[in-house]
């Protein structure tokens, strides 16, 4: 009997564990739903024809020429950052095979002590998709985590593009002087959120009652031996 009560108590304890939900995305309009706003953009337009998510909301399409060199395609200053907390960040990128230039696209995160991100900031890392080698014409997901340092109140999440010049070819080709090599990338599903933490076990009323009954039963059993 005591064994059965103990097993029942363990079952109730298992049911009492809280299941953590997905943390809220702190970035606004992460799926570029019909617009790039409120992202600050450069060399970038809204693209309704390509979406990395099932909702089909579209994406941000960025392009830079070899004369541009590099540029920040989209960026957003995100407030409410808690120092010492661990955050997950990332996004989904797609390089079209039609791009005529080599290059890379990088999802970047920078911590800031100023709430408007006006200070120099502390760069975290970049998550990079490069072509070549690619792949091209497929959405690639990138994600990482970082701990906000002391004094942090905000963060900048951005995507940087770099054009590395015309794509290499198997045979030498004379390129007209006026020709432009363009590196392009589609951007979607950018996110910055508190990283998931293990659930803390909690007991509800029924769980506590069964646990108490189990303890009492075990005590009675021992007294009768």
- Band (88; pLDDT cuts 50, 70, 90): very high
Q: Are 130 and 102 contained in the same domain?
A: yes
pLDDT confidence of residue 180: 85
Residue 153: name the closest of 194, 108, 117 by CA: 117
How many domains, the chain?
2
How far is the C-alpha of 180 from the C-alpha of 67, rounded, in Å?
A: 8
How far is the C-alpha of 100 from the C-alpha of 66, rounded, in Å?
A: 10
Q: Are 132 and 142 contained in the same domain?
A: yes
Q: What is the pLDDT averaged over residues 94-120? A: 96
Q: Are 57 and 67 contained in the same domain?
A: yes
Q: Are 114 and 15 contained in the same domain?
A: no
Q: Are 166 and 224 contained in the same domain?
A: no
How far is the C-alpha of 77 from the C-alpha of 87, rounded, in Å?
A: 15
Q: Are 57 and 146 contained in the same domain?
A: yes
* pLDDT over 50 (residue 156): yes
Structural domain range at position 144? 21-197
pTM of the model: 0.75
Q: Are 207 and 158 contained in the same domain?
A: no
């Amino acid at each position: 009997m005591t064994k059965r009560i103990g097993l029942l108590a363990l079952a109730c304890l298992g049911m009492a564990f809280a299941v953590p939900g997905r943390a809220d995305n702190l970035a606004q309009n992460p799926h570029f739903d019909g617009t790039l706003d409120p992202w600050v953009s450069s060399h970038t337009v809204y693209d309704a024809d390509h979406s990395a998510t099932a909702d089909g909301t579209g994406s941000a399409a960025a392009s830079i020429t070899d004369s541009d060199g590099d540029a920040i395609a989209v960026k957003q200053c995100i407030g409410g950052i808690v120092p010492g907390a661990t955050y997950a960040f990332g996004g989904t990128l797609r390089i079209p095979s039609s791009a005529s230039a080599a290059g890379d696209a990088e999802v970047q995160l920078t911590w800031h002590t100023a709430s408007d991100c006006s200070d120099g900031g502390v760069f975290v890392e970049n998550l990079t998709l490069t072509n070549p080698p690619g792949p091209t014409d497929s959405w690639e997901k990138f994600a990482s985590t970082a701990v906000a340092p002391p004094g942090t109140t905000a963060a900048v999440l951005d995507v940087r593009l770099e054009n590395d010049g015309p794509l290499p070819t198997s045979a030498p080709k004379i390129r007209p002087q006026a020709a432009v090599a363009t590196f392009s990338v589609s951007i979607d599903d950018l996110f910055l959120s508190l990283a998931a933490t293990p659930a803390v076990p909690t007991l509800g009323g029924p769980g506590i009652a069964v646990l108490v009954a189990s303890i009492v039963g075990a005590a009675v059993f021992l007294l009768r031996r």
